[in-house]
Amino acid sequence: MTTTTPRGSEARADVREIHRRLRRAHGPLDPPRKRDPLEELVLTILSQNTSDVNRDRAFEAMRRRFSTWEEVADAPTDDLREAIRPGGLANTKAPRIQRVLREIRDREGGLDLAWMRRAPDEEIEEYLLGLPGVGRKTAACVLAFALGRPALPVDTHVYRVAGRLGLLPVRATPDRAHEALKHLVPPGLRVPLHVALIRHGRAVCKAGVPRCEACPLADVCPSAASFLGAVP
């Protein structure tokens, strides 16, 4: 359920209050450990439609099987598919990873994205979005978690919770959701709020019927009343 998006200073005040309450409820909102940009890019592709545990298993299995990114790019696709099978959707992810790696190698003459550490956010995002199968969420993950930039990746949890809180336009597309939150959330809160919304989505604001009775945001959430009214 979504509502219209709040506007202006009132909306930013709402975001700061949401962040404050979620930090109090879920503890420190530190991002994952920083990785190399290429590692983060591949890890994010592996994360699609799977749990963090299975994503990490697939990533570690891939790195054990292939010692360099060149080997990953040039391996028989069936071998890569078998290595990342613990992460799910291996038939889709293996060729996608190889297409991305080969495109980077064609552009750069090698498999190294260290130049991104010195480049502006807009240049990095444009580059990443030009890679095959890379969308706004993946680009934002590289910006936020590999490069420490003020980006807010919108995954399924962030999209659901932000929508229920009225932070997104009604029926916003994923791209529109990224733009809406980019304009709404102050730069310094983007990464911690991403972490907070994911934790809250997993623990409280779940898909289906959320646990509104246990939610620290129930009194400021425009969706809570209807969910609470539906509980027998």
Q: Which of 3, 48, 27 shows the shortest CA–CA distance to 172?
A: 3
36 and 69 Cβ atoms separated by less than 8 Å: no
Active site residue 137: yes
- CB under 8 Å, gap of 24 or more: what pairs does 225-230 form? 226/1, 227/1
42/97 Cα distance (integer angstroms): 7
- Neighbouring C-beta atoms of residue 169, cutoff 10 Å: 16
102/72 Cα distance (integer angstroms): 10
77/166 Cα distance (integer angstroms): 43
Instruction: Determine phi and psi for 50, rounding to 5 degrees.
Output: -155, 170
72 and 105 Cβ atoms separated by less than 8 Å: no
Q: Which of 44, 63, 39 shows the shortest CA–CA distance to 55?
A: 44
Angle at CA of residue 138, ends 132 and 141, nearest 5°: 150
21/28 Cα distance (integer angstroms): 12
Indicate which residue of 34, 93, 137, 182 is catalytic: 137
What are the residues whose beta carbons fall under 8 Å from the beta carbon of 30, sequence distance 6 or more?
A: 192, 195
Active site residues: 137
